Structure 1
């Protein structure tokens, strides 16, 4: 038996006690304690949140903030000294004996929770970080003297409020950060407007930018119920003390938050632990109709049509010429002016976001539709009314603004109009009588002969459906058999099970083809499922094209197609799963872009070049990709690039090198001039796209949407300008980690400029590109002027209308 000396046992016990104390999460701070900027943190008792000093990405300013403990990407939900940062690590957080929280920088107070001391000092105040993320000051009895939830920043987490305390006039609202690096108060605020029925309003300064609509017991403004019902529950409180919105997670283990970003967009995000990133469940502003009052007074916005705004029946555009040009801000006016002494009635407008107005009233007592209508008729200035289950009777006065039509859901608005615009009551009654007679007669006739025709129709439809299904199955089978494809066919049940029935949380992207989902087979293998959308501009031809081409192409720098799923009209492509997603998520995302050092970037450039060379020269087919862009370069777990999305690719014969098309398909910013303007494409079209990608990788900036205060050029033009000035080194991504081999980056820029030259014959082949990239000291030709080196060049062709969206587009050109 081993015997330890008493001294050793005492030392061991002391060390064990110290380790235990250090391992315990400290969630409180007393007046005799301080929290210094030395890595020390307050951690809530359940280890859900942490509080301490931090600095935003790419900033050396120090702030006191609260963030999620179990989210690897530091995500502050609240910042104390957001408008007064500390420039070094000398900050201290303390709580005084009067319960005041103070942040000091040496001897200077940079932030305080209170500007005055209470008349009676609290008994034993302590500062505590709760498991809800709320930072509170409590007295000895446990009463809250102050709480951070009363002063939200840009984020709403479960338990926080958006609204107002009617007794104290305490208002809870969100304010955007100024920039991603600066948490000081930005331009946008989200507030609860409690006039009449509460509604969420986004202000840009003092100007209304977006209005969520009135609360109807389910959502705001008649919007469809949240697709996130399995994730969060909406809670709205209206009583004599409080009017506010809050929410809670359905699953206690979920981590979710609302955040208003620097552009004023309000998003509901949830942390996806499997993907290691925040997943956007919902964005409040979904389309152009969400811009406040975009259709002017009495105008109604409908996003699913080309002309977004229209006037309700009985109204005409106020300014017809401007309306025809797409300027709807003038709104609509009545065809027949209101006259209270003339007969009047109401036209029902179903499925709307109820309008905004400076003047309206609400009667919360239970009323019938007739009572509400009579209440509006009794007041000559009443222009409309609505009846909802939550509000009772709502009546509007003055011009109606910000109405939006929904394809389903929404609320009914009754618009007051002259009887002449509605049709006379007598005529309506006569029409109703005739309609009733016809309906009754029809029922009697159908009762005698309807069963015969219904049965015959049913049989006819059944035969037609059988023929259609057989045709679809034959067509589907022909895709595989005719092309002799060594391709695995997945059944729909397998794919549905792997993607959790195409769950929103499994969705990892969306392109011109349709949505893409992450899945996991029963074998444990991860897959990516590309599902053809019914509204996709790409269809069966592109699907078949991708199946045929990529199944016959095998290269380490091409994405691997595992199989496809064809079930009736459902068509899906099953790929190997790329955990690092696409290249654009790294080079254009500041938080991820910093992880791409130059070695990784040059390896990606060379990998793309090798994949293209295989397509152009070494594969069984000579293939032109036609939609090469950063978003179509996927990255595996070792950051190896793989070219993807062959739906628009074309294969050539052995002696064929170029072709023309009447249908120009591709992405703005990556298309070569000869292809975008004349529909002429060849291997040199892909070379041009490759050059654009190289410049984007080097600079970390997009070609389209590039901005420089000194000129109006895009990224190609900017690179060309720096080249001519003898200073291409300025193109380097400022977030690239040092050291950077200047000569190697310089060579990549020169190769890229050679690839994007205006004339196709001046551009190198991919074999020459690889030779130039792999050689130590190659003698490279001098590049000539690039094509499309400014945005105006693209739009001046007269062939299309430009957009900054990086999406695949289709343009038709007559020849």
Structure 2
């Protein structure tokens, strides 16, 4: 039988209902929570600066679950980074957050049906002087603190000690060595469920402390140990103009804190349930979060991908990425030949350590092995040489390196199997692996020739005496022939300063490698000459860019390309191997990429079918990251100035690599733009301010990337004819975009169930944002990469430049219609009026 509640209870419930409605709608702001001033559902607790807020929220619009959380108060959609009752959601709005009689912060639920209250969550501080003197306050950093103001103010509890899935600036990550207390992250179960997920981000203090990401209790990604400036497993920690890291490692604790350089910046790092970590910075002028880092990104990042005693090298020229360390061989050769390296490597047979003549082989630019079982000596007096001696004396020591890679001090040694090693492109530490005399001699012959290291040393001593004599002779010869050389037109390629560290190839060897530069070896022709495929005597395939004697690229451009690209290292930039200068011959030698240029695929009716949407999107993202590296992350700020489909080469796995840096320019850190009277580049890819005024900047490359992106999506050249003879591809797409018919121009081979329409339209919109007429309206490549990586609302594009085709150029044939040849100089650019 159902009992009806008394009229008084009904009346009280009605009053409570209306009071809750008032509280919920008023969003009453509080500055602190006290025993007499609780926080109800609908109220918010604001920090003094109003930057962060604490209150009740639901993870999604259709969710009935309620949580107490802290979020940034600047964005229109709250970004929650801490949740109190993660495991205990509420299902109505009757709960309050208050200070109880013990002085703790408590979340209490009032159950009117059962006429009782229950504690959902508590700060659970055991000893508090007096609850009447305690209050909770929210700091601008996002830290909720419980304070006792009896006598001197004292922090009794803080939310920063109990992180959720997000690390924010000034929050500590680490472990207290004495108590075992851990500051770590645990992912949400899902984007709509803040409950404890499967992924954890934690510092392991064993051996030499390092950061791990675990999934279901199993290592997923080892972010690594501290090298003095970064974590050993993270290559892209270059944003020190945004934040810095304070690292502590002593007898009491091992921890680190990230601090922002500008207090107005918000920085957060989120661990998701897949085990991936993303770092964001708040863009106040655009009212959105910008992704600045994401990991892991490669197979080699995954823990133990290549097993024990193996190095994972994703830049191994398309070969198997797993490589046994020196002195080791595959444990299971059959699996190894099937490109499965999970079983790892073991010491080669009949090899014993601690014998005379043994030594160490250097493995460069790696994430050092798992340090949880390594021995560590952090004394600054411990040099690399002393570390070598220490390891050599210990027969169980299998490898060593520095602790602090910046100061080149301290000593890390390994005494068992080495786990989870990988190679980076342009960062990383040097690992010295112990090998026997035979293996050492083999590596020395590889690096020093048949003489070996000792023989090479003797030869060097003899050479010093010979060089002293030769220098005197050379100085005499140089002075005598200097004027004659100038009359003959000879030029010193590097002005006497060859700091490019490149191999100087012999012309004779290149002639043999290309069958005397036969037509059958020609890969293609460009504005400055031809490119040939070559095969060296050791079996290595190379690409040779042979500049025409009558090329517009003179010694200045040649020297520029050699010295510039030699300093650049990125997986999406073509790698230069060396050069050759012999009389009038000037050549550049690059890694060989079997799939040639992107243009040979997207503009070919049959070959374009090999590029489905996923591969095209990967190409777009790869090119964007390569340009971002040039603009922001390399040691030099580079403006390419000739980005186009034919300058994007594809390796065997269809990974894109930007090529041809002959016309690139270096910018200073504070330089915004430059002006030139010599406009170089390719019609159809040039930004209007560059083509018409000679002004170029990073936004010039953004424009060229936008054209390239639209060509990739449509498989059409920007220089073709659309609508009528005067419209460019950009103009045609712009007209379709305004009519909400942009999918009409997409390559028909991409349309279908496997092609996500929203992603295609997003790329078209990004392309149109990149080709806007005014440079200030175009996004930076940092913003472009963020747009590609994230699902966020994009700004509507403004009118692009060059909606109509140019009517006259002095240097090109308008009937050609190709628009793919680079030009050396332009005196006038005539554009038909809109």
User: 2:287 and 2:29 mapped to 1: Cα distance?
Assistant: 25
**Structure 1 residues 283, 564: closer, same or farther in 2, change over 3 A?**
farther
Determine the structure 2 residue equivalent to 1:124: 133
- Decide whether the 8 Å contact of 1:176 with 1:186 is kept in 2: yes
User: 2:31 and 2:418 mapped to 1: Cα distance?
Assistant: 51
Pick from 294, 303, 315 the counterpart of residue 304 of structure 1: 315
User: 2:740 and 2:215 mapped to 1: Cα distance?
Assistant: 41
User: 1:576 and 1:344 mapped to 2: Cα distance?
Assistant: 55
Question: Secondary structure in 1 aligned to 2:364?
Answer: strand
Pick from 234, 239, 242 the counterpart of residue 231 of structure 1: 242
Shift of 1:206: 1.2
User: 2:762 and 2:292 mapped to 1: Cα distance?
Assistant: 27
- Decide whether the 8 Å contact of 1:387 with 1:394 is kept in 2: yes
**Structure 1 residues 534, 311: closer, same or farther in 2, change over 3 A?**
same
Pick from 460, 469, 474 the counterpart of residue 490 of structure 2: 460
Determine the structure 2 residue equivalent to 1:44: 47
Determine the structure 1 residue equivalent to 2:367: 353
Question: Secondary structure in 1 aligned to 2:457?
Answer: helix
Determine the structure 1 residue equivalent to 2:147: 138
Q: What are the equivalent positions in structure 2 for 1:54-453 lying under 5 Å apart?
A: 54-60=57-63, 61-107=65-111, 108-109=117-118, 111-115=120-124, 117-118=126-127, 121=130, 124-140=133-149, 141-221=152-232, 223-224=234-235, 226-305=237-316, 306=318, 307-335=320-348, 336-340=350-354, 343-356=357-370, 358-365=372-379, 366-389=381-404, 392-423=410-441, 428-449=453-474
Shift of 1:347: 2.0
Shift of 1:337: 2.8
Shift of 1:395: 1.4
- Decide whether the 8 Å contact of 2:205 with 2:372 is kept in 1: no
Determine the structure 2 residue equivalent to 1:594: none
Question: Secondary structure in 1 aligned to 2:399?
Answer: strand
**Structure 1 residues 114, 434: closer, same or farther in 2, change over 3 A?**
same
Q: What are the equivalent positions in structure 2 for 1:733-744 lying under 5 Å apart?
A: none
**Structure 1 residues 563, 131: closer, same or farther in 2, change over 3 A?**
same
**Structure 1 residues 95, 684: closer, same or farther in 2, change over 3 A?**
closer
**Structure 1 residues 642, 411: closer, same or farther in 2, change over 3 A?**
farther
Instruction: Summarize deviations over 1:547-584 as a string: whole Å, max 9, x none.
Output: 76699xxxxxxxx9776598999994665999xx99xx
**Structure 1 residues 457, 293: closer, same or farther in 2, change over 3 A?**
farther
User: 1:463 and 1:413 mapped to 2: Cα distance?
Assistant: 35
Determine the structure 2 residue equivalent to 1:620: 725
Runs (5+) with no aligned partner, structure 1:
1-21, 475-508, 520-528, 552-559, 583-607, 644-669, 671-682, 703-734, 736-815
User: 1:169 and 1:457 mapped to 2: Cα distance?
Assistant: 74
Question: Secondary structure in 2 aligned to 1:259?
Answer: strand
Instruction: Summarize deviations over 1:65-108 as a string: whole Å, max 9, x none.
Output: 10111233311110111122112222211111312222233235
Shift of 1:210: 0.8
User: 1:396 and 1:280 mapped to 2: Cα distance?
Assistant: 37
User: 2:325 and 2:704 mapped to 1: Cα distance?
Assistant: 51
Determine the structure 2 residue equivalent to 1:9: none
**Structure 1 residues 94, 457: closer, same or farther in 2, change over 3 A?**
farther
Question: Secondary structure in 1 aligned to 2:30?
Answer: coil
- Decide whether the 8 Å contact of 2:188 with 2:194 is kept in 1: yes
User: 1:576 and 1:350 mapped to 2: Cα distance?
Assistant: 36
Instruction: Pick which of 328-337 and 220-229 moved more.
Output: 220-229
Runs (5+) with no aligned partner, structure 2:
1-25, 112-116, 445-450, 496-527, 529-546, 555-618, 632-640, 650-655, 664-678, 764-790, 792-834
Shift of 1:271: 0.9
Instruction: Pick which of 77-86 and 340-349 moved more.
Output: 340-349
Shift of 1:30: 0.5
Shift of 1:121: 4.8
User: 1:265 and 1:118 mapped to 2: Cα distance?
Assistant: 39
- Say whether residues 1:35 and 2:39 are aligned partners: yes
Instruction: Pick which of 355-364 and 137-146 moved more.
Output: 355-364
**Structure 1 residues 251, 534: closer, same or farther in 2, change over 3 A?**
farther
> RMSD value over aligned CA atoms?
5.0
User: 1:452 and 1:159 mapped to 2: Cα distance?
Assistant: 64
User: 1:699 and 1:511 mapped to 2: Cα distance?
Assistant: 13
Instruction: Pick which of 335-344 and 227-236 moved more.
Output: 335-344
User: 1:112 and 1:619 mapped to 2: Cα distance?
Assistant: 69
Shift of 1:346: 2.0
Instruction: Summarize deviations over 1:579-599 as a string: whole Å, max 9, x none.
Output: xx99xxxxxxxxxxxxxxxxx
User: 1:88 and 1:634 mapped to 2: Cα distance?
Assistant: 50
Q: What are the equivalent positions in structure 2 for 1:1-20 lying under 5 Å apart?
A: none
Question: Secondary structure in 2 aligned to 1:138?
Answer: strand
Question: Secondary structure in 1 aligned to 2:71?
Answer: strand
- Decide whether the 8 Å contact of 1:383 with 1:397 is kept in 2: yes
User: 2:463 and 2:428 mapped to 1: Cα distance?
Assistant: 32
- Decide whether the 8 Å contact of 2:643 with 2:704 is kept in 1: no
**Structure 1 residues 71, 120: closer, same or farther in 2, change over 3 A?**
same
**Structure 1 residues 691, 144: closer, same or farther in 2, change over 3 A?**
same
- Decide whether the 8 Å contact of 1:49 with 1:69 is kept in 2: yes
Instruction: Summarize deviations over 1:598-646 as a string: whole Å, max 9, x none.
Output: xxxxxxxxxx99x99x999732289999xx9xxx99998xx87585xxx
Shift of 1:370: 4.1
Shift of 1:341: 5.2
User: 1:550 and 1:367 mapped to 2: Cα distance?
Assistant: 55
Query: TM-score normalised to the size of structure 1?
Result: 0.59
User: 1:54 and 1:145 mapped to 2: Cα distance?
Assistant: 26
- Decide whether the 8 Å contact of 1:564 with 1:573 is kept in 2: no
Question: Secondary structure in 1 aligned to 2:438?
Answer: helix
Shift of 1:44: 0.4
**Structure 1 residues 161, 362: closer, same or farther in 2, change over 3 A?**
same
Shift of 1:331: 1.6
- Decide whether the 8 Å contact of 1:101 with 1:114 is kept in 2: yes
Across the two proteins, how many residue pairs are aligned to each other? 561
Question: Secondary structure in 2 aligned to 1:29?
Answer: coil
Determine the structure 1 residue equivalent to 2:448: none
Instruction: Summarize deviations over 1:487-531 as a string: whole Å, max 9, x none.
Output: xxxxxxxxxxxxxxxxxxxxxx954654678x9xxxxxxxxx995
Instruction: Summarize deviations over 1:209-237 as a string: whole Å, max 9, x none.
Output: 11122112111117557221110011111
Question: Secondary structure in 2 aligned to 1:106?
Answer: strand
Instruction: Pick which of 335-344 and 295-304 moved more.
Output: 335-344
